[in-house]
C-alpha cells in the first residue's frame, strides 16, 4: 500500500494499543511507499524542472539528495527532468509535464485510468516509477492522435458511445490500442478479458467492446 | 404540446473526452500550486490530545500544517447533502476523520509530511456495526396507507421473508479533488461535485466568510453516483489552506481515505409480509426496514417506502422504518439509494408470491397495474410499466421459459435461469434559472443549474437547443456546475433533465420575442445571430426561470440562496414516476457455481427520450450497476476498530468488462402529458432499480435456491 491510504494510527503507542490497529501484523494497510522504497526521509523541495535535452549540460552536477535526473521521450518530444525519486510516472506526467490526460483513479494499479504506453507496452503509470522511464519512450493519450485526425480507436469510442463521464476513457483507449496491438482483440470474449484491468464505473462496457471490435478492423488487426 | 421524438446525436463532449482534453478538477493548473494531504484518524471515536507536527515540519518542502487551531470551533449539525461540514476539530466521530492537513511544495513532500505527523488520542468506546453493543435503534416516522393488518388478515396467500442489502461505496473513478485559489479577495474552488451551489454556501459558513465572495466550478465531473452530491469535508480545509498560505492548494484524496470520508450506501434489512387474494391481486403489505446510520446522520430511513408503495396498486401498505446509529461517517445517497435495495426486497417477494400462486411472474405483475398513486389517491401522470413488461418479454423470448425451478440446463450441466423484476423511481424537480445569450459573432451560450458527470446533461441540452434554434454547434457553450454562470442546485435524484431542459424551450421563446422587440417591425433575413449582428448589437441575453408543479417564488429564492428546493413525486394534481422492466438470464456453472449474466433486456418508461444515445448508455450503465450490486459489491466493516477493511478497488470488487455481456435496451418513449412541456420524466436511477432482484429471481429459477442477501456469491450456491 502506498500514498497515505493508510489510515492506521500514527499516535501514541498506548493509545494505539487501545483503539487502533497500528502495529497489528494483521493490518493490511501498514506498509507505506517510503518503507517500500527504503529511502530516507530527506528529499528535495526544489521545484521540478523541464529542460530540453540540448540545453542540459553533459556534466551532471551533484543533485539534491533524493532526486535523480532522467531523460525520456514523451509523445515524441525529448524531456530531461530532475525528479524526486519517489515520483510516479503518472505524477510526473500530470504535475510536471502538464499532460493531464492520464488520470489518477486509485494510485494502486487497480483501475487502469492511468494507462500509458512505455516502449509500446501498456503500463499502469501510477505503479511505474518515473525513474523507470529514463531512456525510454512514453506515449500518452495526448500523443495518440495527430493534429485533428483522431486515432481509429478514439473515433470508435465516439461512434459507439463507449464512455460516459470520460474519466477512465484515456486509460481505456490506451489499453484498447495495446489490446489490439497485442493480438488480443480477436473475439468479444477475449477483448472483455484483456480489457478487464480498466474499470469503467459508469458501465460503458458494451460500447467499449463494440468500439474495440470496430477499431481493430480499421487498424488491420483482430 | 409534448415534443415529437428526438433524433440520435453523438455525445457533445465525447471528442474532448477521447483526446484526454476534458478538464476535470484535478487537471486545472495554477502557478505556485501547493499540494495537500490529510492525516486521517486511526480510531472510530475519541479526542485528539496532541498533534506532534515538528518532525513533519522539518521535512523539506512542507510549508504548513493545518490543525484545529486554524479553524473557528464549529457545531456538528445533522449530516445532510447541503450541510456545512466542520473544519478540523479535536473530537473524533469516525475512523478516517481528517485530523490535520499538510501543505507542501510537492505531492511527495505532502504525503511524507502526513505520515510524519504523530497524534496522541484519548480513545472512547464505539459501535462499529449495527450488531455492536451501543448501536442504537431509533424508529423513524411510518409511511402508511390504509389498513395493512386488516388486509393481510383477509389475504389468502402471504409471503413473509427478510432480505439484506450490504454496505456499498460509490467509487466513481475520479477521486475527490479540490483546488482552491484565494486571490483579490475572492475564493475560487474547483471540485468535481454535483452540488456547486451548496459548496459555495457551506464552505463560506465553515470559514466564516461571505458566500458572495466564493465561486465554485465543477464543469466536468469524473463520475459521481451521489457521492459528490454532499458537501465534502475536505473542501473547506483546502480553502482555508489557500487563504492561510496565499497560494493555490490542491488535494486529491486517496481512494482508501475516500471510503471513510464520503458517504456510502448503508446496510439495510428488509422484512416483508406481502398478501394476495385468490385472484392474485396483491392486497396488503407490511414492510419494515432498518438501515445503518451515523450518530448525526440525516439520511432518512423511511424513504425506502416511497417507491415500493407505488410499484403496484396496493391500497393497504404499512411502511415502518428505523435507523441503527453507529460510529461511522454519515451514509448518504448512492445511485437509487432507496429504490434499489427496496425493489431488491420487494420484487424478490413478488417473485416468491408468483411461485406460491403458480402464476407467471410477468403476468402477475401486469395484473397488479394501477393508474392511481394509492398513497395520495391522485392519478399517476403516466405509467407504461405494463408496456415495458410486454416489450421486454417479447424481446427476451420469455414465452419459451419453463417456469419450474432448475428446469433449464446447458449440455455441460450449466444451470440456466430467467428472471424478471420491475423498478421505479420518483420523478422530481427543483427550481432553476437559465440564461441564453446569442451573439453577433455566431456564438451561443446557455447557462443553467446542473452538473455533467457523464449522464449527458450537456448533450440533452444541446439536443433541445439545436431543435429549437438554428445554431453553429462548434460555437455553442453550455455552462453547468458553475456558480458564476447561473445559480446552482444539487444535481441528483434523476431530476437534472426535468429541471433544466424545459428552460431551453422557454428561453428560446423569450429570445425570439426579445429579437422581435429589437427589430421593431423591421424584416431581416437570416438566423437570430445574423439579425442581432445586422442591428449592430454584440449580443442579446435573456433570463428565464421555472419552478416545479405546486412550487412558488419562495422555492426559487431557496434555490438562488444555494439551498435544497426539490419537490415531487407527489404534485398537487398528480404523481409522476419512471418505470423499468428487466429480464435477466443467468448461467450457474456446474462445478465452480460461478454466476454469469450473458444477457439482459431492459425496457424503460422515462417519458419522452431527449437524447437517445446517452439515454441508452445510462440504462446500460444502470444494468451494470445492478449486476455489480447483485453479484459483487459489499464493503466490510472492521468490527475491531471501525472503518472499512476493503478500502480499495482490488478488495471492493466492482463489475469489470469480463462481468458484462449483452445488454439490450429499449424505451417506450411515450411523453408524459402533465409533467412538463417536453414530456420527459427521469432515467439515471430507475435504470438500475430492480436489476438485482431480476438476477436473484433468475438464480432461483436456475437453481431452486432463493437467496435473500446480497451480494450473491459462489459459496451461497455450493
Cell of A206: 458494451
Query: For B562-641, where are the alpha helices, taking DSSP H only?
Result: 612-631
**Band (B2; pLDDT cuts 50, 70, 90):** low
Smallest Cα–Cα separation from B226: which of B299, B79, B333, B331?
Answer: B333
pLDDT of B202 higher than 80: yes
pLDDT of B1 higher than 90: no
B347 with B443, same domain: the answer is no
Q: Among partner residues A107, A150, A196, which is closest to B254 by beta-carbon distance?
A: A107
* Interval B71-76 mean pLDDT: 83
Is B42–A203 a contact, with Cβ atoms under 8 angstroms apart?
no
Question: Is pLDDT larger for residue A29 or for residue B571?
Answer: B571
H or E stretch covering B494: none
**Band (A12; pLDDT cuts 50, 70, 90):** very low
Per-residue burial over B296-322, b = 16 or more CB atoms within 10 Å of its CB, e = otherwise:
ebbbbbbbbbbbbbbbbbbbbbbbbbb
B654 with B621, same domain: the answer is yes
A49-143: what CATH class?
A: alpha beta
Domain A152-218 in CATH 1.10.150.120: yes
What are B426's strand-pairing partners? B577
Q: What is the CATH number of the domain that holds B651?
A: 3.30.365.10
Residues of A in contact with B648 (CB under 8 A): 1, 5, 106, 108, 110
Average pLDDT of the residues of chain B = 97
For residues A6 and A54, the answer to whether their CB atoms sit within 8 Å is no
- pLDDT recorded at residue A26: 37
B324 with B463, same domain: the answer is no
Residues of A in contact with B27 (CB under 8 A): 94, 100
* Interval B572-593 mean pLDDT: 98
**Band (A2; pLDDT cuts 50, 70, 90):** very low
Smallest Cα–Cα separation from B661: which of B711, B613, B595, B716?
Answer: B595
pLDDT of B417 higher than 70: yes
Is B43–A20 a contact, with Cβ atoms under 8 angstroms apart?
yes
Is B648–A110 a contact, with Cβ atoms under 8 angstroms apart?
yes
pLDDT digits (tens, 9 = 90+) for B137-187: 999 999 999 999 999 999 999 999 999 999 999 999 999 999 999 999 999
B203 with B250, same domain: the answer is yes
In a domain? residue B143: no
Q: What is the CATH number of the domain that holds B198?
A: 3.90.1170.50
Q: Among partner residues B95, B111, B252, which is closest to A104 by beta-carbon distance?
A: B252
B576 with B618, same domain: the answer is yes
For residues A8 and A29, the answer to whether their CB atoms sit within 8 Å is yes
- pLDDT recorded at residue A148: 84
- pLDDT recorded at residue B34: 98
B216 with B320, same domain: the answer is no
Least confident of A38-47, B340-349, B446-455, B541-550: A38-47
B381 with B366, same domain: the answer is yes
B437 with B406, same domain: the answer is no
- pLDDT recorded at residue A147: 81
pLDDT digits (tens, 9 = 90+) for B274-326: 999 999 999 999 999 999 999 999 999 999 999 999 999 999 999 999 999 99
Residue B221, chain A, CB below 8 Å: the answer is yes
In a domain? residue B646: yes
- pLDDT recorded at residue B77: 80
For residues B490 and B229, the answer to whether their CB atoms sit within 8 Å is yes
pLDDT digits (tens, 9 = 90+) for A13-67: 333 333 333 333 333 333 333 333 333 333 333 334 444 444 444 455 678 889 9
Query: Could you tell me the residue ranges of all domains in chain A?
Result: 1-38, 49-143, 152-218
Per-residue burial over B653-691, b = 16 or more CB atoms within 10 Å of its CB, e = otherwise:
ebbbbbbbbebbbbbbbbbbebbbebbbbbbbbbbbbbb
Q: Rounded to the nearest 5 degrees, what angle is found at the Cα of B114, between the Cα atoms of B108 and B115?
A: 90
Contacts (Cβ under 8 Å, ≥6 apart) of B248: B30, B31, B32, B33, B34, B179, B180, B181, B242
Task: Please state, for a pLDDT cut of 90, what percent of chain B lies above it.
Answer: 99
Question: Which strands, in side-by-side order, build the sheet including B316-326?
Answer: B136-140, B316-326, B282-294, B268-276, B157-165
Q: Please give the residue range of the domain that contains residue B283.
A: 268-427+572-716
Query: For B164-269, where are the alpha helices, taking DSSP H only?
Result: 196-207, 233-245, 255-261
B544 with B407, same domain: the answer is no
What are B604's strand-pairing partners? B580, B667
- pLDDT recorded at residue A58: 45
Q: Rounded to the nearest 5 degrees, what angle is found at the Cα of B248, between the Cα atoms of B243 and B249?
A: 85
H or E stretch covering B217: strand B214-217
B487 with B598, same domain: the answer is no
Residue B613, chain A, CB below 8 Å: the answer is yes
pLDDT of B700 higher than 90: yes
Q: Among partner residues B18, B224, B657, which is closest to A205 by beta-carbon distance?
A: B657
B245 with B346, same domain: the answer is no
In a domain? residue B119: yes
* Interval B229-240 mean pLDDT: 98
pLDDT digits (tens, 9 = 90+) for A123-178: 999 999 999 999 999 999 999 998 889 999 999 999 999 999 999 999 999 999 99
- pLDDT recorded at residue B444: 98
In a domain? residue B18: no
Residues of B in contact with A168 (CB under 8 A): 173, 222
Helix (H, G, I), strand (E, B) or coil at B244: helix
Is A7–B225 a contact, with Cβ atoms under 8 angstroms apart?
no
pLDDT digits (tens, 9 = 90+) for B355-369: 999 999 999 999 999
The domain tally of chain B equals 3
In a domain? residue B566: no
Distance set, CA B389 to CA A153, B363, B385, B395, B668 (Å): 37, 9, 6, 10, 10
B556 with B606, same domain: the answer is no
Amino acid at each position: 500500500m502506498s500514498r497515505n491510504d493508510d489510515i492506521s494510527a500514527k499516535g501514541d503507542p498506548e493509545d494505539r494499543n487501545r483503539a487502533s490497529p497500528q502495529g497489528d501484523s494483521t493490518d493490511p494497510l501498514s506498509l507505506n511507499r517510503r518503507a517500500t522504497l527504503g529511502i530516507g526521509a530527506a528529499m528535495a523541495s526544489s521545484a521540478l524542472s523541464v529542460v530540453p535535452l540540448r540545453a542540459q549540460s553533459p556534466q551532471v552536477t551533484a543533485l539534491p539528495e533524493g532526486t535523480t535526473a532522467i531523460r525520456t521521450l514523451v509523445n515524441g518530444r525529448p524531456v530531461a527532468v530532475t525528479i524526486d525519486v519517489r515520483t510516479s510516472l503518472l505524477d510526473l506526467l500530470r504535475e510536471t509535464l502538464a499532460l493531464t490526460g492520464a488520470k489518477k483513479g486509485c494510485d494502486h494499479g487497480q483501475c487502469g485510468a492511468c494507462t500509458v504506453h512505455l516502449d509500446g507496452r501498456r503500463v499502469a503509470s501510477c505503479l511505474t516509477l518515473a525513474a523507470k522511464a529514463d531512456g525510454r519512450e512514453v506515449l500518452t493519450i495526448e500523443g495518440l492522435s495527430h493534429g485533428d485526425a483522431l486515432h481509429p480507436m478514439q473515433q470508435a469510442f465516439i461512434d459507439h458511445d463507449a464512455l460516459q463521464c470520460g474519466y477512465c476513457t484515456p486509460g481505456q483507449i490506451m489499453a484498447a490500442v495495446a489490446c489490439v496491438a497485442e493480438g488480443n482483440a480477436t473475439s468479444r470474449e477475449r477483448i472483455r478479458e484483456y480489457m478487464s484491468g480498466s474499470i469503467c464505473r459508469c458501465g460503458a462496457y458494451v460500447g467499449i467492446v463494440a468500439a474495440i471490435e470496430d477499431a481493430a478492423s480499421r487498424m488491420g488487426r483482430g | 404540446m409534448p415534443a415529437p421524438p428526438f433524433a440520435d446525436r453523438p455525445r457533445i463532449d465525447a471528442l474532448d473526452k477521447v483526446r484526454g482534453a476534458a478538464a476535470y478538477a484535478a487537471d486545472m493548473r495554477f502557478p505556485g500550486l501547493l499540494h495537500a494531504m490529510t492525516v486521517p484518524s486511526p480510531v472510530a471515536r475519541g479526542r485528539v490530545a496532541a498533534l506532534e507536527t515538528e518532525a513533519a515540519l522539518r521535512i523539506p518542502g512542507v510549508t504548513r500544517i493545518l490543525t484545529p487551531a486554524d479553524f473557528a470551533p464549529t457545531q456538528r449539525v445533522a449530516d445532510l447533502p447541503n450541510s456545512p461540514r466542520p473544519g478540523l476539530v479535536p473530537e473524533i466521530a469516525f475512523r478516517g476523520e481528517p485530523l490535520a492537513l499538510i501543505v507542501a511544495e510537492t505531492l511527495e513532500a505532502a504525503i511524507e509530511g502526513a505520515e510524519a505527523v504523530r497524534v496522541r488520542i484519548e480513545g472512547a468506546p464505539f459501535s462499529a456495526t449495527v450488531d455492536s453493543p451501543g448501536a442504537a435503534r431509533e424508529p423513524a416516522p411510518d409511511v402508511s396507507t390504509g389498513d395493512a393488518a386488516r388486509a393481510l388478515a383477509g389475504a389468502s396467500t402471504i409471503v413473509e421473508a427478510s432480505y439484506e442489502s450490504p454496505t456499498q461505496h460509490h467509487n466513481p473513478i475520479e477521486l475527490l479533488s479540490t483546488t482552491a485559489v484565494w486571490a483579490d479577495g475572492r475564493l475560487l474552488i474547483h471540485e468535481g461535485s454535483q452540488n456547486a451551489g451548496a459548496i459555495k454556501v457551506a464552505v463560506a459558513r465553515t470559514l466564516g466568510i461571505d458566500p458572495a465572495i466564493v465561486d465554485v466550478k465543477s464543469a466536468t465531473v469524473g463520475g459521481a453516483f451521489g457521492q459528490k452530491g454532499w458537501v465534502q469535508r475536505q473542501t473547506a480545509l483546502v480553502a482555508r489552506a489557500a487563504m492561510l498560505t496565499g497560494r493555490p492548494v490542491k488535494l486529491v484524496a486517496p481512494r482508501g481515505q475516500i471510503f471513510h470520508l464520503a458517504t456510502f450506501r448503508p446496510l439495510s434489512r428488509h422484512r416483508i409480509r406481502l398478501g394476495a387474494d385468490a385472484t392474485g391481486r396483491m392486497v396488503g403489505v407490511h414492510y419494515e426496514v432498518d438501515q445503518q446510520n451515523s450518530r448525526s446522520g440525516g439520511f432518512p430511513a423511511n424513504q425506502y417506502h416511497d417507491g415500493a408503495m407505488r410499484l403496484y396498486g396496493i391500497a393497504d401498505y404499512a411502511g415502518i422504518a428505523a435507523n441503527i446509529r453507529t460510529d461511522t461517517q454519515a451514509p448518504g445517497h448512492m445511485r437509487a439509494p432507496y429504490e434499489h435495495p427496496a425493489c431488491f426486497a420487494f420484487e424478490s417477494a413478488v417473485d416468491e408470491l408468483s411461485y406460491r400462486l403458480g402464476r407467471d411472474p410477468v403476468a402477475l405483475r401486469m395484473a397488479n397495474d394501477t393508474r392511481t398513486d394509492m398513497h395520495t389517491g391522485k392519478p399517476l401522470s403516466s405509467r407504461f410499466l405494463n408496456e415495458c413488461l410486454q416489450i421486454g418479454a417479447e424481446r427476451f423470448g420469455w414465452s419459451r421459459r419453463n417456469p419450474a425451478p432448475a428446469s433449464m440446463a446447458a449440455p455441460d450441466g450449466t444451470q440456466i435461469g430467467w428472471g424478471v423484476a420491475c423498478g421505479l423511481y420518483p420523478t422530481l424537480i427543483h427550481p432553476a434559472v437559465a440564461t441564453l445569450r446569442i451573439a453577433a459573432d455566431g456564438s451561443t451560450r446557455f447557462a443553467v443549474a446542473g452538473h455533467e458527470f457523464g449522464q449527458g446533461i450537456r448533450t440533452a441540452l444541446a439536443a433541445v437547443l439545436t431543435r429549437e434554434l438554428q445554431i453553429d454547434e462548434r460555437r455553442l457553450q453550455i455552462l453547468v456546475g458553475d456558480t458564476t454562470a447561473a445559480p446552482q442546485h444539487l444535481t441528483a435524484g434523476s431530476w437534472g433533465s426535468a429541471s433544466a431542459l424545459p428552460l431551453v424551450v422557454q428561453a428560446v421563446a423569450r429570445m425570439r420575442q426579445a429579437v422581435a422587440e429589437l427589430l421593431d417591425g423591421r424584416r431581416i433575413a437570416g438566423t437570430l445571430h445574423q439579425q442581432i449582428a445586422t442591428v449592430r448589437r454584440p449580443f442579446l441575453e435573456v433570463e428565464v426561470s421555472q419552478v416545479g408543479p405546486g412550487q412558488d417564488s419562495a422555492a426559487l429564492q431557496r434555490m438562488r440562496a444555494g439551498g435544497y428546493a426539490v419537490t415531487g413525486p407527489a404534485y398537487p394534481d398528480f404523481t409522476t414516476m419512471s418505470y423499468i422492466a428487466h429480464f435477466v438470464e443467468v448461467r450457474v456453472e456446474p462445478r465452480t457455481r460461478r454466476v454469469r449474466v450473458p444477457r439482459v433486456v431492459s425496457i424503460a418508461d422515462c417519458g419522452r427520450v431527449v437524447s437517445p444515445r446517452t439515454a441508452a448508455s445510462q440504462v446500460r450503465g444502470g444494468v451494470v450497476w445492478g449486476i455489480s450490486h447483485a453479484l459483487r459489491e459489499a464493503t466490510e466493516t472492521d468490527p475491531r476498530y471501525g472503518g472499512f477493511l476493503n478500502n480499495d478497488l482490488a478488495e471492493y470488487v466492482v463489475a469489470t468488462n469480463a462481468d458484462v455481456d449483452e445488454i439490450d435496451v429499449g424505451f417506450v418513449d411515450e411523453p408524459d402529458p402533465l409533467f412538463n412541456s417536453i414530456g420527459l420524466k427521469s432515467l439515471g436511477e430507475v435504470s438500475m432499480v430492480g436489476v438485482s432482484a431480476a438476477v436473484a429471481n433468475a438464480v432461483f429459477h436456475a437453481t431452486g435456491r432463493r437467496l435473500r442477501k446480497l451480494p450473491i456469491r459462489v459459496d451461497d450456491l455450493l
